[in-house]
Copies of this chain bind each other. A is one copy, B any other.
């Protein structure tokens, strides 16, 4: 059994962690969004790769959804006293990861190679791949102009109204080594409950990925539950794009691409209208509170994927 999961940040990392619990290491590959990557203080920061790796390594901060548990802020406090930029919160231990990644990228290694090695040093046993080794940068088109993702997401707290998205560099990016191979060989492809607009669409924008995902036994887990996003701006983005946020809206977003959508029991009544779009549905509890819930959802999602594969 080979499973590939496409993941962004928190929600994606949680399901990836559940999958890692139920599958042997060599059965699972996580392909991670790097559209959020940016340069800050001269460092190459990869927020989604870090959230996935920290989560899989058991190092993630569950309260914040980003960064490391047992973190300290001495660097940032000292930087603040010196008048430096502190809008992006870099913990003392987290900072080491960005430094080491940056050092090795500057030495000529690829993001994929660096990620593999650093993840292994953190104790991650499964393959975590960036969607690409090339620079793809998510830009949020807003009423205030085109804003780099982290500036929109962190500094501006997602306040500007969204009109669209652009994945700069995606046209010429190549999937990272292993991505297309993993997708082609997958028995089940899982689109984790990550933000469709800014976590999954950037991955799909890398040439060849959408086609490979469309050819597979692909199921998605709706990140919208009861019309709300569990975390982050997904619901707000649907609304500002003129779409009522719902599990059904997620199904429509991925229409023609996925064979099944996992929706929450709270949204059970939407199942018929989602199936009308041309995909099967699995109704279950999708909110992952605790590791047992991650594991249970992962089991159900993989079974569902095996069903839609037939």
Contact between A103 and B42 (Cβ–Cβ < 8 Å)? yes
- Determine how close the nearest CB of chain B comes to the CB of A63; give it in whole angstroms: 18
Q: Interface 1/0s, chain A 257-301, versus B by CB < 8 A? A: 000000000000000000000000000000000000000000000
Q: Interface 1/0s, chain A 32-60, versus B by CB < 8 A? A: 00000000011100000000000000000
Q: Taking A42-B42, A83-B121 as contacts, is the C-beta distance between A78 and B96 under 8 angstroms?
A: yes
Interface size on A, residues (CB 8 A): 30
With both beta carbons as reference points, the residue of chain B lying nearest to A97 in the complex is identified as B82
Contact between A41 and B99 (Cβ–Cβ < 8 Å)? yes
Contact between B93 and A95 (Cβ–Cβ < 8 Å)? no
Contact between B72 and A85 (Cβ–Cβ < 8 Å)? no
With both beta carbons as reference points, the residue of chain B lying nearest to A68 in the complex is identified as B78
Contact between B92 and A79 (Cβ–Cβ < 8 Å)? no
- Answer whether residue A102 sits at the interface, using C-beta atoms and an 8 A cutoff: yes
Chain A: residues with CB nearer than 8 A to chain B? 41-43, 72, 74-79, 81-85, 92-97, 99-100, 102-103, 106, 117-118, 121-122
- Further contacts, 18 of them, CB under 8 A, given A84-B103, A85-B103: A42-B103, A72-B72, A72-B92, A74-B74, A75-B92, A75-B93, A75-B96, A76-B96, A78-B96, A79-B99, A79-B100, A81-B122, A82-B96, A82-B100, A82-B121, A82-B122, A83-B121, A95-B95
